[in-house]
A and B are shown apart, each in its own frame.
Chain A
Amino acid sequence: MKYSLFLGCTIPARSRNYELSARAIASRLDIEFVDIEEFSCCGFPLEASDEMGAILLGAMNLCLAEEKGLDICALCSACTSMLTKTAYRLDNDKRLKEQVNKELSKIGKEYKGEVKVKHFARILLEDVGLERIKKEIKQDLKGLKVATHYGCHYLKPSYIYEGFDDPQDPQSLEKILEAVGVTNIQYKRKKDCCGGPILLSDEKVALSVAGKKLQCVKETEADCINLVCPFCSLMFDANQKGIETQFGTEFNIPVLYLPQIIGLAMGLGRKELGLNLNSVSTKELTAKLGM
């Protein structure tokens, strides 16, 4: 199984723990990642101010994967949605495709529509399969109680995702966790956004959106949050201290990326999974698991 690995902007610079753990579990599962150095930003941050620029960036990245004949595996949910939406729009709008290809010809590229974009979690579920993942499980994680945050762009807008999972009642991430032996915890407002995209226009509102969700998790017996997007992690993990100040409460909820949890179940070490790089300390959590 071979994919081009799309890291985007935030992961290689700010979320090495996500990248490390994703690469670590991928190699256990015989997934080969090919790094394409020319990959740029996916275009998502431009969508609000320069929609055409965003589509051009998305299309350029799709072309780079096409040239290698490889489907794309993205780790970030915003990258996944931007690249998937770009392909969807280009494949369904001839005029837009012509316009985009005219621009792309300036750098000697042409979008053909030959690659598939998938989030890593979707690849684990659809291409690798739960049975294969189960074969690698070495550590009993029954005692680990996890509240999953699906986030938005992993599943939405649903018209670009061909019915993969249901944004009204998402299950995919918890299915994976169940397979690796974790106890899934339900909480109020599970489907709410992290608030990340408004951080640039109104920080207070953004932190308040994230804080309301942390409060709901805190009401449960969850040991940690599970997520699949570096923006969501930025809100819940890196900004947790700031949210605590704004809300006047202490949360102290560790926030793990899905591959970090899967890696724990595979018996991988703290450093291999970048657990020492998380903002909210994960030491108590791994101590509880006897690590």
Chain B
Amino acid sequence: MNRVNLRKSDPDFIEELDSSDFISGFRACYTCGTCTAGCPVHRANKDYDPLRIIRMLVLGLRDELLKGDMIWLCSDCYTCQENCPMGVKITDIINHLKNLATREKNIPIGVSTQEKLLKDQGKIYIIDDFDNKKRTKVGLPSLPAMAEEAKTLLKKE
């Protein structure tokens, strides 16, 4: 495990995240490790460690968090958050960190491709004529190919 270089700490980053009502309170973490102990991704890949993410956050290690791969391995299963004795909203926090990493252009290609599809179509999969034929054949109602209002809503001016 790498040593922590506190010269890289960014206090503004801690403050900024802690001032958001939705995810504040992470400074209460007392490193018990319940989060990592229950994490199903950690069991499959020891490089992924939710406790380490929260400690990096408490220490203000902004760049290491937002430029690394670790946050993208979170499966969003909420096990850590449900188990945390201090009520730290670990999964919601990691989700927010993924959003910040996206702004820094650190986003897995699969996730960005899906985002583009969604903004172009309003849904992940287009329901084409072939799909609708298969649907009506088994008695399911046919559906429009895309979601037009959603496309309009997501369009940036």
Contact = CB atoms under 8 A, between A and B. Distances in A.
B152 A106 contact: yes
A152 interface: yes
Interface string B119-142: 100111101000100110011110
B153 A156 contact: no
Interface in A12-64: 12-14, 16, 19-20, 23, 35, 37-41, 45-51, 53, 56-57, 60
Contacts of B73: 198, 201-202, 205
A127 interface: no
Contacts of A181: none
Contacts of B107: 49
A103 to B, nearest CB: 7
Given A12-B131, A16-B134, A49-B111, A60 B150 contact: yes
Contact of B153 (A9, A13, A56): A56
Interface stretch (A110-118, A189-197, A261-269, A279-287): A189-197
Contacts of A9: 123-125
B131 to A, nearest CB: 6
Interface residues of A, number: 59
Nearest to A64: B149
Contacts of A191: 79
B149 A38 contact: yes
A19 B143 CA distance: 13
A193 B77 contact: yes
B138 A201 contact: no
Given A37-B143, A274-B138, A198 B75 contact: yes
Interface of B is mostly: helix
A23 B122 CA distance: 24
Interface in B76-115: 76-79, 81-82, 89, 91-92, 95-96, 98-99, 102, 107-108, 110-112, 114-115
A89 interface: yes
Given A12-B135, A49-B112, A193-B75, A41 B143 contact: no
Those 6 A-B pairs whose CB atoms lie nearest each other, nearest first: A40-B147, A200-B110, A40-B150, A193-B77, A156-B78, A13-B125
A197 B153 contact: no
Nearest to B147: A40
A249 interface: no
Given A12-B127, A198-B72, 17 more contacts: A9-B125, A38-B144, A45-B115, A45-B118, A48-B98, A48-B99, A57-B153, A93-B21, A93-B22, A107-B149, A153-B78, A195-B44, A195-B75, A200-B114, A205-B48, A209-B43, A271-B138
A278 interface: no
B108 A201 contact: yes
A233 to B, nearest CB: 15
A86 to B, nearest CB: 13
A10 interface: yes
B125 A14 contact: yes
Interface string A148-191: 00001100111000000001100000000000000000000101
Most A Cβ at <10 Å: residue of B41, B73, B77, B134: B77
A252 interface: no
A212 interface: yes
B5 interface: no
A157 B111 CA distance: 22
Nearest to B48: A205
